[in-house]
A and B are shown apart, each in its own frame.
Chain A
C-alpha cells in the first residue's frame, strides 16, 4: 500500500472522525520495516461494549498495543483514530547510536508506525461504517516514563492535549453519551489526558474505565479538577513537568504554547 492508501485506510473520506487522525507517523511510514514486530499479534477486545452502544473508547496503551487493539475493535464496528503525535527520528538518521548501538529516540515509536502500516491492510478489508463510534489510540509511553531519557537522546516525547480530541458537544451531536478509558496497568488517567476527560465530564459525558491487566472490573469514575485546569494557557501549563532538565529528570518550565508566531 502507498503512504496515501495507508493514511486513507485509517482516515477514510466521509468518516466524521477522520480529521482527528494525527498525521505525523503516517508521514514517516516509509521508515516502517516490511515485517514489523507487531506482525501476527491480535488485540483481545472481549471487554469492549457493543459498537452500537455509542460509546467512545480512549485506549491509552503502551506502544503498538493500541494499534493492534484498535484494529480488533474495527472488526467489532469501531473506528480506530490514531492520535500518536511523536516524531520517530531526527530526519533520516539511523534509529540507533553509531557508538553504543542504543536506541536514539526517547520514545520508541517505530513499532507503532509499523503496526499502523500492517493494520492498514486489515482495515482496508473492514468496511468501516460512517456512523461507527470512535476509539482514540494513544501511546501510554508518550511521556518517556518507561526509560531514563539521556541528554543525547532524540527527545520525541509528546503530550496529549484536549484540543487533540473532539469536544463533548461534537461527540454528543454524534449520539455519544459514554466514554470508556482503557489502560493496561493503571486506573487513574494520566495527567495530560485528565484535562480532556474532565472537559468531557463537564460536557455531560459519562466516564467509565477498565484495566486490561484484569485487576479491576469496568467502573464509572469521575475526574477531579486537574491542576491548572481551565487556565488560559492549558497547553502551556500541561507541559510543566514534561520538559527535561539538563541535569536529568523533569521539571523544566515551558513558558508558552508554541515557540513561533
Chain B
C-alpha cells in the first residue's frame, strides 16, 4: 500500500527540491546546521517545545514543507466547510440524545449530555482537521475536535523557520488567534485557569505556551488540574495553593472522556452542562471527536457533503471485513495521538491479535475505516508521509500543524515540520 519513491535523498547538500504537482506540496532544503541548532535552542527555551526528542527521533525537522497558496486556500476553505457541517451535526445530535449511544462515549458522560440542563458556555471553539496527501488527492483522517494541540509548533516554530525563507510565508498563527479569542472572552485582567493532566509534559507544554500568550494579552493565568476546580452555583473556582478564588474562563487540555472518569465529588458535569463559567473547548466537541461520529450521519437530517467527500468510508467493526481485508484499518473511538490506529502489516502479530480481540469484545469502542494510500513527499531525509492539521478557530481557518512520519501513521513520535506557503506562478 505504501507508495515509496524510488530515490531516497539523505543529505541536505545533495537535495534537489521536487514538486509533487498534484498536491501542491514540496519540501525545501534544510537550513544550515548551525542556524538550525540556534533555532532549536530558541524553540525549546522560548517556544515551549519541551519534547523535541522522542527515543531516537528528533521531532523538529530542519527543513520546511512548501505549499502553493492556491492549494492552501482550497484546503482552508474545505476545513471551514467541514467545521460548519460538524457544528450543525453536533447541534442535531444534542437534540437527539439516542444518537449519543452510537458514539462510544463513557456512560456517565452520555448521561450528562442527555440531560436538558443548558450547556456550559464556551469562549470559543478550536478544531484541527488532519489532511493527508493520497493517491486520490487530499483526504482527512479525523478532526481533533475536543482538545487539539500543536499550537507552539504551528506558531512559534513555524515562525522561526519562516524567518529563514523570506519568499515564503506562514499559513497563519493559530496560537495567537486562539489566544486572542480566549482573551477577548474575559474582562481585561481576567483570570483563566488552564487545565491538564499531571505527568504529561507533552500536554503541559501546550497549556504553558497558551498561558504565555494569554499573559501577554493581560490575562492572569494559572496552570492546574481539573480536580482543583470547585463549582459553586455553577461558577468555577480554583482551589489551589497559589490561587483560591473564582476564575473567568477555563481552558482544558484534558479530554472530555477523562473528565467523566473523575470522582463525582469533583462535580465534573459542570464542564459540560449547568456551568456558568465559560469552558473551552465546549462539551459538544466530544461528539465529533469520537471516531464513531460518521456512524450517526445516516440518522441525521444535516448534510455533510464535505465530510463524505474527504473522509474514507467508516463503519462499525461488525460491518466491515477488516479481519480478512488489509484495505481496512481499526482505531478506537477516542484515538487521540494516533496510538490506536491499527494496521495489520505495521504491527507485531501479538499486537494485532490483542487489537482484534478488543475490537471484537467491545466493538462499540472501535471503528473500521478504509485505508487511503498515503503518498510520501520527497524530503531532504527521504520520503516522508505528511499530515497537515488545519486549524479552524470559531469557524475560520487559522494555520496548520504539520507532521512527518516514515510510516503512513502519524503518532506522538512523528516529526514536526513547518508548513510555509509560496505564491502560485
Contact with B along A60-79 (1 / 0, CB 8 A): 00000000000000000000
Task: Report yes or no: A260 in contact with B241, Cβ–Cβ below 8 A.
Answer: no
Q: 14 A-B residue contacts at CB 8 Å?
A: A4-B42, A23-B49, A27-B50, A90-B222, A90-B242, A92-B215, A233-B340, A239-B199, A246-B262, A246-B266, A253-B261, A259-B149, A259-B255, A260-B206
Chain A residues near B255 (CB, 8 Å)? 256, 259-260
Q: How far is B266's CA from A141's CA once the two chains are assembled, in angstroms?
A: 28
Q: In the complex, identify which listed stretch (A112-120, A126-134, A163-171, A182-190) lies at the interface while the others stay far away.
A: A163-171
Given contact pairs A27-B50, A259-B253, A260-B148, A159 touches B199 in the complex (Cβ within 8 A): yes
Contact with A along B258-274 (1 / 0, CB 8 A): 10011101100000000
| A94 in contact with B55 given A239-B199, A257-B336, A261-B128 (CB within 8 Å) | no
Contact with B along A148-182 (1 / 0, CB 8 A): 00111111111100110111011000000000000
B199 touches A258 (CB 8 A): no
Interface of B is mostly: mixed
Identify which of B4-12, B223-231, B310-318 touches chain A.
B223-231
A90 in contact with B223 given A247-B263, A253-B261, A257-B412 (CB within 8 Å): yes
**How many A residues face the partner with a CB closer than 8 A?**
63
Q: Does A91 contact B (CB under 8 A)?
A: yes
CA distance A29 to B56 in the complex (A): 26
In Å, the complex CA distance between A65 and B206 comes to 30
Given A90-B224, A91-B222, verify A232-B340 contact (CB < 8 Å). yes
Contact B337 A258 (CB under 8 A): yes
User: Which A residues lie within 8 Å of B351 (CB)?
Assistant: 232
B222 / chain A contacts, CB cutoff of 8 Å:
90-91, 93
Which 4 A-B pairs give the minimum distances between C-beta atoms? A260-B149, A261-B144, A23-B44, A93-B242
Q: Which residues of B are at the interface with A, using a C-beta cutoff of 8 A? A: 34, 37, 41-42, 44-46, 48-50, 52-56, 58, 128, 130, 142, 144, 146-150, 196-206, 208, 211, 215, 221-225, 227-228, 239-243, 253-255, 257-258, 261-263, 265-266, 334, 336-340, 351, 354-355, 412-413
Contact, CB under 8 Å: A163 / B55:
yes
Residues of A within 8 A of B (CB): 3-4, 7-8, 13, 19-20, 22-24, 26-27, 85, 87, 89-94, 97-98, 100, 102, 104, 106, 150-159, 162-163, 165-167, 169-170, 232-233, 235-236, 239, 242-247, 253-261
A7, B41: Cβ atoms under 8 Å?
Answer: yes
